[in-house]
Amino acid sequence: MKLFIAGASGATGEHVCRLAKEAGWDVHAFVRSKAAASRLDPAYEHSVGDPTDPQDVAQAMVGADAVAVCLGISRQTRSPFAKPVSPLDLTSRSVEAILQSMQSLQIRRIVYISAFGASESWSSIPWWGRAFLSLTQVRHSMIDHTRSEALLASSGLDWTALRPMMLDDSSSSDSAREMKSGDSLLKKVPREALARTVIRALNDRSTIRRPVALVP
Ligand SMILES: NC(=O)c1ccc[n+]([C@@H]2O[C@H](COP(=O)([O-])OP(=O)(O)OC[C@H]3O[C@@H](n4cnc5c(N)ncnc54)[C@H](OP(=O)(O)O)[C@@H]3O)[C@@H](O)[C@H]2O)c1
């Protein structure tokens, strides 16, 4: 079984590639530059292309059985509050191209990394949190993840949108777990735990066609 990973060079995407390989998937890492490709583990199949370009995506996706999307708007620094340098509609335009390719290649399963605050989950953030986020650069990611989730929901495919609130780079041998009422929104999910959750979700039919809010 082959997993197509968009955003394979990202902080979470790198974990997803490694953990997918460990879990027995063949990995197809899709990256945007030759420089990023040169840093990939040679055990992965890879291709270089623009995730918003339907032709690049369709060519690279041939032979895949499932898709993981780990793309995110890049910023001037690693802080999610820093000014974006990627197009503000990067994730939704990529999802559009990816879904189109999946439909034409008859690939059904996609796990998408979104964010808590996208779509209807925005109203679950306390008013002071919403006020704060609306004033920061984070709002661009929320808007774009909301658009991506709407595209997934209308695709008819077997999608899952994973929604962590905040990420960090600590190491973790656990997966993230689904948020329950009363859980704190302020606890950070390690990117490695998020990546484990992506791999688990691929084979977990209970996550199909719904968003899954995550806590560590
Ligand atoms: N940071 C948080 O606290 C937080 C909280 C909740 C949800 N999230 C979401 O989690 C997801 C993953 O975050 P992350 O920190 O792992 O991401 P990341 O390390 O910033 O990786 C982003 C990926 O997107 C690619 N990318 C960016 N701009 C691109 C462009 N214009 N064209 C093609 N590819 C492009 C990057 O490629 P290069 O490697 O070539 O730059 C990289 O592979 C994001 O969607 C983010 O919104 C983050």
Residues 198-209 have pLDDT tens digits of 999 999 999 999
Any ligand 1 atom below 6 A from CB of 164:
yes
**What's the pLDDT band for 59 if we cut at 50, 70, 90?**
very high
Q: Rounded to whole angstroms, how far apart are CA atoms 194 and 15?
A: 9
Compute the distance from residue 72 Cα to the ligand 1 centre, in Å.
3
Domain-by-domain residue ranges, the chain? 2-215
**Pocket perturbation via mutation, ligand 1, pick of 79, 113, 198 by most ligand atoms within 8 A of CB:** 113
- Mean pLDDT along residues 21-36: 98
Fold (CATH) for 2-215: Rossmann fold (3.40.50)
Question: What pLDDT score does 73 carry?
Answer: 95
**What's the pLDDT band for 104 if we cut at 50, 70, 90?**
very high
Compute the distance from residue 70 Cα to the ligand 1 centre, in Å.
6
Residues 6 or more apart whose CB falls under 8 angstroms from that of 99 comprise: 110, 151, 152, 155, 157
- Tell me the pTM: 0.98
Residues 6 or more apart whose CB falls under 8 angstroms from that of 90 comprise: 51, 52, 71, 72, 73, 144
Question: What pLDDT score does 118 carry?
Answer: 98
Over the chain, what is the mean pLDDT? 97
Question: What pLDDT score does 80 carry?
Answer: 86
Compute the distance from residue 113 Cα to the ligand 1 centre, in Å.
9
**Pocket perturbation via mutation, ligand 1, pick of 32, 38, 83 by most ligand atoms within 8 A of CB:** 32
- Mean pLDDT along residues 1-24: 98
**Pocket perturbation via mutation, ligand 1, pick of 74, 113, 188 by most ligand atoms within 8 A of CB:** 74
Any ligand 1 atom below 6 A from CB of 32:
yes
Any ligand 1 atom below 6 A from CB of 167:
yes
Any ligand 1 atom below 6 A from CB of 13:
yes
Nearest to 157, CA basis, from 96, 200, 71:
96
Residues 6 or more apart whose CB falls under 8 angstroms from that of 141 comprise: 72, 73, 80, 91, 115
Range 78-83, long-range pairs (CB < 8 A, 24+ positions): 80/137, 80/138, 80/141, 80/166, 81/136, 81/137, 81/138, 82/137, 83/137
- Mean pLDDT along residues 172-181: 96
